[in-house]
Structure 1
């Protein structure tokens, strides 16, 4: 369960304060595929990073999987997020000096999970990147990089995946591969919260949250 109450996030700059999130309230049950949609700058990614414990709100309460990450000590929060929450970023965040296999296995150390190279190879086969396991990120296509990032998130078997525009830079074929695996993860008992500009994942969503100017304007359940 994700539960946020009266969450506000304000960024301060020389030009003045910017309210990125304004008194948001939301509950998301477990085992759901949720989309967060809205125009650029509406607060979608800020909300996702807040749910993932990466961006502390200026005020309000955030509960994720029964825990309050911002009330934890940093070490405890890092351990919780690494083991229970998988992140898939639009910009991939792959480590350039590690091979594809090493990138996929990297999160096992942070998550303190019993993950094997065999599991990584199985995921790579499912995502059609087996022939890239010894390559480095600079040698990959955009679609391959995103599939590596997805494998890295999936391998620790988290309870929740947070995906920030994971198909934004992909062609239709790679978009479908990524969406199929996110759906498979959700159907196996996990939860997915995905930020999206487009409509390609609408048919998969149990719930679509619309945002505008830092506010939730509509929550539609399917």
Structure 2
């Protein structure tokens, strides 16, 4: 069986190197290449490869976006993330989204080839170091929600504060009394240990508008 592979990386030299490497393997065929995320999705749809070798740092749509797009596609190749991203966040996010394997660009050529063959049969590949990090990261408790002390209504008020609305405008938008808004604002400042509306707005913006 010939394994059909698409290579997605925004660096031409990386794509050329992988193409040269894979062309030496009798059972692997490079079916296509892509230099950005949107092109990757299009090439994968057109060529229907068995395996996609994907960098995370891509212009336009990044590698995570590509994985998400492929999850909803009619054809889903096995995805090998081949990246320089060393952090646990990218590792966990990619594997959780459905990547089959995660390799660093420092991996030996033989490891990349073996990962492609494994991925084509549905077998995941992680180095012992990355497997340990993934396991540890998955066991960590989620970070506490900084807005947890607030009630749902207080979160609504905080979001509107972040948009620059006055108490009167907030009251109109939420269909509540202006005095009630003032009470909510005082409660928000007290619960979050903030001094004024400006600090509240900054706090909200740092945490995605209070949502």
TM-score of the pair, normalised by structure 2: 0.30
Structure with the higher helix share, 1 or 2: 2
Pick the structure with greater CA Rg. 2
